């Protein structure tokens, strides 16, 4: 744990007291978003101290020219960057001629921030003594509307305490912004139009190269003690910024408030030559609601989200705060409204990892969205990959594959690969497996087979073709092998026969063949269409099957375990427990070659396979592999502890499971990895949810039946979660000694609890 200043609270994230050292961390933690846009918790007023300004629009990125030491054939030309978008939250605040700036005040007291997760708003309040002696109280509240997702709202109040004061609010929009993360310090935005109309302001800007057009807008209203004041507004316009000034004189304890609406409209949703009109339309709608009504709507929308997604933990406030923070941030990042969007590893809270889509979505996020949203949302996430199938085929083509073989990109914004370390981009091909597995997982959970004939099967065929071509027959092993890969454990590069990759490849081929057979019998017209489109032949399917049937898997007779890859046992097998703790995390202390030749595992690799394909292995096999690999695992990926927590729970090792859970649930709040200032670990938050629902709750779907094996950490009195299972909401409440199940509507549902059938009827509590 690297920080401990967040005040425990069941529903809110709270910071009290002003500490400049916490600014960048809090800017990440208190981030707000509504799926369409998001922003770090930067102050509205000017702040001259150390800060990381960030405001981001979903789907707006920049193809930053790749930077490498030595170019290699096949490298993508660019690395997509999430773009810092024009700032619309800014308000210059001047009190008796002095600009408010928390970095230059004489003193600050009663500083408090609250991110209210239940209702979806961010507030801040403090008292400040300015250099000119004026003593003021400031309160602000801000939210990004879920109801009108192109708009955000700010209410910013100043109350002079010791004297009358002339207060000037100068809200602005500013397109003169830069990225923290940029390869060549290129200019990313080009300003197309900057204008002011009916006291509203607009800047139309387009991104360089990608030519995304956006209109950033604002309109403000001034109030004195709650009464709107129609003061003279002065507008000021420079090359890339518009400022409007509102001046008011108030007596001591009078409150001057500026309410500001602002946000973005983008050409993904509107014709690019009508962005100004669209923005004006949004402003009018927001103004007609008014700040208070819009805030009420916000609370309603969040209430709906929580009604399906909430997890309660009884008897552990920090754990409760942690899990709600994870669920809240996931929902701020992606709500499933737009199949063009996806889930970036840092959401809207920072710029690292380019804001792009990784295999994290399929491997970690889909279970969460599938169980806490309408199942259309998970389907949209699958469709995202279907829409990128042509690009995945093109990508595989660049690496020498043919005949419709598809390799999905490691990192992408639009289906094109945009990562450029050869050992990742070219070799971390197991991502294809997770993308196929997500299709299976969706079908298993929802029983919505329709996705497969409609779209999924084409993806599965492209992926099966890739594996068929990527494996080669080794006369030496008399088996098919897969050489030169990087598995999920990125602390190994360019290894031969990574067990997880080989196993995924085999499974992908088998699943594709199975789906082809099923679609042929049950969806004949889709079958004919797909067969014509993809031109597969029986001969080809036979060739796939040969690869799958004779796939090689590295195995140790001595340890009776599958080996993570060929040669793993040649390493110096010193467990993490016996490693000098001063050397940890090894990625901050060791050179890359030393990490690579060590036995240390960054994140679940063989165990990731046991997680995906758990039905293929006995509990004894899991235990053996867990006991063999976990001692070498350093968990230096945020995606590692969750899988281990689920597996430990399955093995009935609840103490160990709980320790892994703690590590994932408050990773950012307590800043375990000392990097929260860069942004939050959004995709691993879905892993936290997994630890509770699949780990402690033991939720699975077995032969089409929903199943639970509830367990509870001894530290907790109880915990509950809700899931949407095939359009019915089931609430599961696990207590020490028993579990309650409750169904909200529909037909009765037979579930398995500890492998015994239990019938749950709507609105009737069942206790097991």
**Does residue 750 contact residue 704 with C-beta atoms inside 8 Å?**
no
* Residue 183 or 190 with smaller CB distance to a copy of itself: 183
* Residue 591 or 755 with smaller CB distance to a copy of itself: 591
Reduced to 3 states (helix: H, G, I; strand: E, B; else coil), residue 247 is: strand
C-beta of 506: minimal distance to a copy of itself in Å?
A: 17
* Residue 416 or 742 with smaller CB distance to a copy of itself: 416
- Dihedral Cα 355, 356, 359, 365, nearest 10 deg: 50
C-beta of 699: minimal distance to a copy of itself in Å?
A: 37
Kindly report the backbone phi and psi dihedral angles of residue 193, in degrees, each rounded to the nearest multiple of 5, phi listed first. Answer: -155, 145
Write out the DSSP string of 578-625. GS-GGG-SHHHHS-HHHHHHS--BSS-SHHHHHHHTGGGS-HHHHHHH
CA 213 – CA 189 distance, rounded (Å): 10
490 flagged as catalytic: yes
Name every residue whose Cβ is closer than 8 Å to that of residue 658 and which is 6 or more positions away in sequence: 645, 713, 714, 715
C-beta of 133: minimal distance to a copy of itself in Å?
A: 49
**Does residue 368 contact residue 101 with C-beta atoms inside 8 Å?**
no
- Among the listed residues 45, 301, 490, 630, the single catalytic one is 490
Q: Are strands 749-753 and 705-708 parallel, antiparallel or unpaired?
A: parallel
* Residue 219 or 468 with smaller CB distance to a copy of itself: 468
Tokens encoding 692: 């509770």
* Residue 591 or 618 with smaller CB distance to a copy of itself: 591
C-beta of 353: minimal distance to a copy of itself in Å?
A: 11
* Residue 291 or 480 with smaller CB distance to a copy of itself: 480
C-beta of 570: minimal distance to a copy of itself in Å?
A: 4
Tokens encoding 202: 């607009």
Tokens encoding 605: 């690799």
Write out the DSSP string of 146-201. SSSTTEEEEEEEEEESSS-EEEEEEEEEE-----SS-SS----EEEEEEEEETTEE
* Residue 35 or 488 with smaller CB distance to a copy of itself: 488
**Does residue 167 contact residue 302 with C-beta atoms inside 8 Å?**
no
* Residue 331 or 486 with smaller CB distance to a copy of itself: 486
* Residue 46 or 474 with smaller CB distance to a copy of itself: 474
CA 27 – CA 52 distance, rounded (Å): 8
C-beta of 401: minimal distance to a copy of itself in Å?
A: 9
C-beta of 403: minimal distance to a copy of itself in Å?
A: 16
* Residue 597 or 702 with smaller CB distance to a copy of itself: 597
**Measuring CA to CA, how many Å separate 623 from each of 468, 601, 620, 702?**
31, 17, 5, 20
Provide the edge-to-edge strand list for the sheet that holds 55-57: 32-33, 37-39, 55-57
C-beta of 477: minimal distance to a copy of itself in Å?
A: 6
CA 451 – CA 442 distance, rounded (Å): 9
Nearest to 181 by CA among 398, 353, 410, 28: 353
C-beta of 465: minimal distance to a copy of itself in Å?
A: 16
Nearest to 515 by CA among 411, 617, 440: 440
CA 365 – CA 346 distance, rounded (Å): 13
* Cross-strand pairs, 700: 707
C-beta of 62: minimal distance to a copy of itself in Å?
A: 17
C-beta of 472: minimal distance to a copy of itself in Å?
A: 4
CA 444 – CA 722 distance, rounded (Å): 18
* Residue 336 or 599 with smaller CB distance to a copy of itself: 599
User: What b-and-e string marks burial along 405-433, b requiring 16 or more CB atoms within 10 Å of the CB?
Assistant: bbbbbbbbbbbbbbbbbbbebbbbbbbbb
**Does residue 181 contact residue 352 with C-beta atoms inside 8 Å?**
yes
* Cross-strand pairs, 16: 112
Tell me which residues touch a copy of itself (CB under 8 A).
66-70, 72-74, 79, 398-400, 420-423, 426-427, 472-477, 481, 483-484, 493-497, 558, 566-567, 569-573, 587-594, 596-597
**Measuring CA to CA, how many Å separate 15 from each of 7, 31, 205, 321?**
6, 13, 35, 13
**Does residue 179 contact residue 81 with C-beta atoms inside 8 Å?**
yes
Please identify every residue annotated as catalytic.
Answer: 490
């Amino acid at each position: 744990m690297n920080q401990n200043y967040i005040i425990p609270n069941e529903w809110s994230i709270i910071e009290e007291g002003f500490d400049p050292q916490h600014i960048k961390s809090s800017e990440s933690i208190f981030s707000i978003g509504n799926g369409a846009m998001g922003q770090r918790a930067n102050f509205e007023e000017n702040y001259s101290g150390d800060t990381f300004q960030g405001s981001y629009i979903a789907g707006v990125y920049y193809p930053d020219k790749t930077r490498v030491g030595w170019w290699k054939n096949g490298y993508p030309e660019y690395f997509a960057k999430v773009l810092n978008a024009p700032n619309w939250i800014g308000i210059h605040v001047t009190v008796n001629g002095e600009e408010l700036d928390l970095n230059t005040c004489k003193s600050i007291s009663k500083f408090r921030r609250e991110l209210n997760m239940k209702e979806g708003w961010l507030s801040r309040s403090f008292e400040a003594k300015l250099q000119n002696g004026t003593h003021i109280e400031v309160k602000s509240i801000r939210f990004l509307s879920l109801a009108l997702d192109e708009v955000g709202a700010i209410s910013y109040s100043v109350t002079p305490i010791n004297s009358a004061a002339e207060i000037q609010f100068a809200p602005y929009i500013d397109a003169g912004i830069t990225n923290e993360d940029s390869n060549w310090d290129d200019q990313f935005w080009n300003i197309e139009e900057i204008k002011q109309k009916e006291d509203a302001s607009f800047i139309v800007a387009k991104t360089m190269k990608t030519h995304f057009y956006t209109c950033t807008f604002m309109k403000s209203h001034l109030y004195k003690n709650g009464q709107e004041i129609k003061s003279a507004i002065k507008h000021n316009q420079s090359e890339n910024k518009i400022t409007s000034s509102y001046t008011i004189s108030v007596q001591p304890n009078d409150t001057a408030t500026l309410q500001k609406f602002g946000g973005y409209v983008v050409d993904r949703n509107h014709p690019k030559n009508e962005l100004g009109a669209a923005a004006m339309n949004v402003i009018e709608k927001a103004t007609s609601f008014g700040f208070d009504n819009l805030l009420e709507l916000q609370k309603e929308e969040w209430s709906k989200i929580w009604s399906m997604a909430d997890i309660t933990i009884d008897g552990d406030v920090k754990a409760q705060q942690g899990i709600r923070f994870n669920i809240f941030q996931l929902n701020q990042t992606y709500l499933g409204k737009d199949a063009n969007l996806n889930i970036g590893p840092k959401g809207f809270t920072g710029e690292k990892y380019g804001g792009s889509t990784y295999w994290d979505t399929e491997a970690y996020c889909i279970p969460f969205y599938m169980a806490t949203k309408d199942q259309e949302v998970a389907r949209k996430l699958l469709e995202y990959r279907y829409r990128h199938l042509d690009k995945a085929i093109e990508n595989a083509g660049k690496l020498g594959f043919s005949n419709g073989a598809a390799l999905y990109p490691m990192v992408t914004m639009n289906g094109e690969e945009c990562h450029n370390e050869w050992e990742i981009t070219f070799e971390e091909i197991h991502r294809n497996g997770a993308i196929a597995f997500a299709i299976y997982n969706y079908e298993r959970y929802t029983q919505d087979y329709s996705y497969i004939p409609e779209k999924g099967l084409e993806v599965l065929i492209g992926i099966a073709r890739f594996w068929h071509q990527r494996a080669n027959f080794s006369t030496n092993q008399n088996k098919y092998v897969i050489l030169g890969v990087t598995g999920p454990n990125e602390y190994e590069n360019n290894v031969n026969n990574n067990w997880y990759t080989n196993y995924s490849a085999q499974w992908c081929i088998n699943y594709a063949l199975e789906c082809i057979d099923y679609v042929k019998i049950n969806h004949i017209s889709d079958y004919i269409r797909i067969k014509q489109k993809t031109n597969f032949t029986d001969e080809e399917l036979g060739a796939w099957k040969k690869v799958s049937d004779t796939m090689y898997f590295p195995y140790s007779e001595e340890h009776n375990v599958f080996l993570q890859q060929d040669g793993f046992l040649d390493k110096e097998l010193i467990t993490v427990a016996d490693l000098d703790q001063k050397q940890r995390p090894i990625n901050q202390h060791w050179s890359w070659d030393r990490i690579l030749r060590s036995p240390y595992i960054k994140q679940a690799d063989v165990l990731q396979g046991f997680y995906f394909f758990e039905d293929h292995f006995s509990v004894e096999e899991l235990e053996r592999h867990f006991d063999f690999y976990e001692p070498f695992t350093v968990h230096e990926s945020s995606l590692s502890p969750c899988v281990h927590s689920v597996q430990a729970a399955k093995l009935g090792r609840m103490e160990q499971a709980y320790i892994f859970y703690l590590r994932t649930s408050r990773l950012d709040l307590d800043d375990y990895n000392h990097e929260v200032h860069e942004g939050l670990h959004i995709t691993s938050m879905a892993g936290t949810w997994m630890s509770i629902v699949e780990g402690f709750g033991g939720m699975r779907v077995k032969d089409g039946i929903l199943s639970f094996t509830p367990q509870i950490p001894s530290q907790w009195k109880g915990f509950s979660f809700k899931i949407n299972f095939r359009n019915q909401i089931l609430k599961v409440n696990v207590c020490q000694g028993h579990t309650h199940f409750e169904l909200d509507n529909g037909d009765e549902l037979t579930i398995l609890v500890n492998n015994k059938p239990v019938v749950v009827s709507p609105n009737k509590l069942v206790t097991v």
